[in-house]
Chain A
Amino acid sequence: MPKKATPSTARPRATTPASDTPPAPSAELLRELTGKSHWLRRELFQMVMATKKGHIPSSFSCTELLVSLYYGGFLRHRKGEPHDPSRDRLIVSKGHAAMALYPILADIGFVPPGELANFTRKDALLRMYADPSIPGIDAISGSLGHGLGIASGMCLAAKQDGRDQRAFVVLGDSECYEGSVWESAYFAAHQGLDNLVAIVDRNGLAIMGRTEELCRIGSLEEKFRSFGWESLSIDGHSYGEILPALGRLGRTGGKPLAIIANTVKGKGISFMENRSEWHNRMPNEAEQRQAWLDLETNTIAN
């Protein structure tokens, strides 16, 4: 079946001395994370199919990004301790994909694993859009353009307190249409929030079509750089590129870090990939069989 991943349009910029580059990820870690990709997509697909609610394509475009944060050692946390105030913060500001955190939160002991099967069910813990009543969720989502500002406040507080805490925000590329994102972008740069990382899930699709056709976004890498951020573009499905990009954290000379992750909406299910109409659609039985087949056999290139 055709699997056309969005080609990576840029590589991490070689603007820093070799001695300052983060160490390359080990083959063992890459294998482990690839396994987590498969696991997370299958968990999410099951979770959504149980109640036919949720957003698969938005979640699948940032699967590797979230796995990298939690299992690549970047989002520092202690298993089973969601209320630890020193835990690093993560806001999935593109709220459609906040549900992608749920299997991870169950896996690290933040929410009971049994809750996954209750996703969106009456009075259950796990809702369509996440909010801080769910252990491990650091901000409410569902309305675009809030996460970067809230995370900036968290990062500023950590700096004022002299705490080594950082915050990661996963933004949608279409979310970057919101002006508040850019209000936050120059605030974070001015405040020197080098403990803040914005990861833009650049899947190129809004609900109604392709961003560059609907209302051109252009180069987000350049935009963030011009706002005073360290900015780079990567293939957002390649652990070989995601991990070194996240490794830039702490090596940005006082700047916040923007990672433009070129991704494929719906990555992993052939017929959903790059198709905006799947944003809100549920697969029928035949499509579900095909999707399962894809999720069983799919390999993410690293």
Chain B
Amino acid sequence: MAAKPKLMRDVLIQEFYARARKDPRLLFISADLGAESLDTFRADLPRQFIHPGICEQNMIDVAAGLASAGKTVFTYAMASFITARCYEQLKVALGAMNKPVTVVSVGVGLGYDDAGPTHYTTEDIACLRALPNIEVWTPCDEESTREITIECCERPAFRYLRLERPGLPNVYQGNFRSAMGAGFCEVAPGGDVLILSSGYMLHRALAVREQLRMEGLEVTVTDLFRIKPLASRDLAAYASRFSHVITLEEQCLAGGFGSAVAEALVDQGVAKPMLRLGLPDRYFFENGGRGHVLEKSGLGVSTLAQRITEFTAPAARSRNRLPSVPQSVSF
């Protein structure tokens, strides 16, 4: 039986810690979000750990000041609070001044199970990718988390790093580093239908692929882990090899992951039947946890398989040959 996956935050903090021990310029700021690995860090390197209080705005401004003085800074908090709460600080202090700070968010999407709209972060891709100078990365397993962390330590830039709250099973087998430059990587080859996803939903895409395979439909699953800067030309060239392009995200459809892909394809003149699968345009108050909310949103594995089957069915194909207008489904 496979070992329980490590929490992404522990992977990141342990990697950062190993480097911080050798380099006092590495500083870690947490707005009151802990981790087991962070306790070790705080105890061993107290001068390199900063707790600003539950103060995301000040945390980002302070990070900008520290980065101005040559420090390599990671800021760390729950996804919901390190994005929308301090959006203006991200824009002004890090974006407009282009400060090389890594903004680490934990629990993107519906990651904070049962917590409701205050903790769900379903708009961070749309909001953050709108900022010039930012890079937006979403790891999907331990290896990708580690490699992206190393990149952030060794080549600091204004990066937004979207961590899952739980640990996720391994996707990469030592091949993530070589894929980093491209920004996307085919993780499960298949037929003519392409599913692009990232993070938590990449695993759901892989589950959907298994189900579809049992039903006789082969699909390819590709991890688009860097949504900004998006390798538009390469992505469009890659997508043009498929008959259908499907995006799967745990984000609002307005301006999110699928929007970014659609923009890239349109800008590169690639017209493909496209289906953007994501969350409906509402807040989520219902109890029952992440899986339940996804089911209710039409993003359960069986429902997704059914939607993809319908979308790619021969009957739909003639319709889909019409000049491409990205298709979204609302509930």
Contacts and interface: CB of A to CB of B under 8 A. Distances in A.
Interface string A278-302: 0000000000000000000000000
Contacts of B53: 183, 186-187
A43 interface: no
A152 B92 CA distance: 16
Interface stretch (B64-72, B131-139, B177-185, B317-325): B64-72
Nearest to A147: B61
B61 A158 contact: no
Given A187-B53, A187-B55, A140 B68 contact: no
A152 B66 CA distance: 8
Contact of A183 (B52, B64, B66, B97): B52
B61 A180 contact: yes
A124 interface: no
Contacts of B24: 160
A218 interface: no
B66 A184 contact: no
A143 interface: yes
A134 B67 CA distance: 18
Most buried by A among B47, B62, B64, B65: B65
Contact of B65 (A131, A143, A145, A150): A150
A226 to B, nearest CB: 16
Nearest to B73: A153
B69 A158 contact: yes
Contacts of B266: none
B70 A140 contact: no
B92 A180 contact: no
B329 interface: no
Contacts of B66: 153-154, 156-157
Nearest to A186: B53
Nearest to A150: B65
A146 B70 CA distance: 19
Interface residues of A, number: 28
A156 B58 CA distance: 13
A179 interface: yes
Contacts of B93: 139-140, 146, 149-150
A198 B93 CA distance: 19
Contact of B64 (A142, A145, A150, A180): A150
B47 A150 contact: no
Nearest to B57: A180
Contacts of B61: 146, 148-150, 152-153, 180, 184
Interface residues of B, number: 26
Interface string A102-145: 00000000000000000000000000000110000011101101
Given A131-B97, A140-B97, A149 B70 contact: no
Contacts of A149: 57-58, 60-62, 64-65, 89, 93
Contact of B58 (A138, A142, A184): A184
Contacts of A187: 52-53, 55, 58, 62
A151 interface: yes
B5 to A, nearest CB: 35
A143 B62 contact: no
Contacts of A84: none
B65 A154 contact: yes
B65 A153 contact: yes
A89 B254 CA distance: 42
Contacts of A146: 61, 89, 92-93
Contacts of B96: 131, 140
Contacts of B71: 157, 160
Nearest to A145: B57
A28 interface: no
Contacts of B67: 153
Contacts of B47: 160
B93 to A, nearest CB: 6
A138 B69 CA distance: 11
A213 interface: no
A130 B63 CA distance: 20
B68 A138 contact: yes
Contact of A154 (B57, B58, B69, B89): B69
Given A140-B92, A143-B92, A183-B53, A156 B97 contact: no
Contacts of B68: 138-139, 150, 153-154, 157
A161 interface: yes
B103 to A, nearest CB: 15
B49 to A, nearest CB: 12
A183 B57 contact: yes
21 contacts: A131-B97, A139-B65, A140-B92, A148-B61, A149-B58, A149-B65, A149-B93, A150-B65, A150-B68, A150-B93, A153-B61, A154-B65, A154-B68, A155-B65, A156-B50, A157-B66, A157-B70, A160-B71, A184-B58, A187-B52, A187-B55
Given A149-B61, A184-B62, 10 more contacts: A149-B60, A149-B65, A153-B66, A154-B65, A156-B50, A157-B69, A179-B57, A180-B57, A184-B61, A187-B52
Interface of B: 24, 47, 50, 52-53, 55, 57-58, 60-71, 88-89, 92-93, 96-97
Lowest 7 CB-CB distances: which A-B pairs, in order?
A153-B65, A149-B61, A157-B69, A183-B58, A153-B62, A183-B55, A153-B66
Interface of A: 131-132, 138-140, 142-143, 145-146, 148-158, 160-161, 179-180, 183-184, 186-187
